[in-house]
Amino acid sequence: MTFAKDASCCTYSVTSVCLRHPANTLTRQCLCFISKVVVGCPQCYLMYTREHMPANIGVAAQNCYKTAKGAFTGEISPAMIKDCGCEWVILGHSERRNVFGEPDQLISEKVGHALEAGLKVIPCIGEKLEERESNRTEEVVFAQMKALVPNISDWSRVVIAYEPVWAIGTGKTATPEQAQDVHAKLRQWLRDNVSPQVAESTRIIYGGSVSAGNCKELAKTGDIDGFLVGGASLKPDFVTIINARA
């Protein structure tokens, strides 16, 4: 499973012109049939992206709010996302947590409402550099997971994205061993705190400066089920990442 959160970009500089390249690439290239691909884009381009992507490519919003309606100027609801023809949403991305200050509880409530509204959800978790260097990675990601669990009503529509904050857009990448270690511990946490069935069936994807150069080594590990891809999704070799397990 491969998710592209930047194929229409999280930055303000993107326009509809930028979307044409990934759309053309995903239409013309041969994609591994075992991969599920979802493209995440800003809300103003949801409908454009859905109209230009192949039908077998999912489209995700990059955020939504925790209630169906109300006086929340500037927010987008799951119902609005569905009206655009999209069925996925990314929640709790590191920038939502660390730039906009969204706490674990709010992210959990957003996840719960999105699931209730019928969306598939990609909750993001991950530690900052100082937390990793102080050996608090497990403490941080387990706390983030603990906050999510009470509001998850259907694990079959949840894909967990582990994105070490220190490896996002920095050029730094966790080694395959480091990434696998956290993924394995997250799966064990699910086994101990939710159920063995959920632990085995839930996809845990990795999102930390994934590129065509490191995707195959990451894909060889036992507990990395796919990728949350950033800037590399705007490049032609995004197809290499999608086909990493081929």
Sign of CA dihedral 110, 59, 84, 12: positive
Name the active-site residue from 87, 127, 131, 163: 163
Active site residue 87: no
Half-sphere exposure of 223 (CA within 13 A, CB side): 21
Half-sphere exposure of 38 (CA within 13 A, CB side): 22
Candidates 204, 194, 108, 189; CA nearest to 151 is 108
Name the active-site residue from 93, 113, 131, 183: 93
Active site residue 163: yes
In whole angstroms, what is the distance from residue 242 CA to residue 205 CA? 12
Catalytic residues: 93, 163
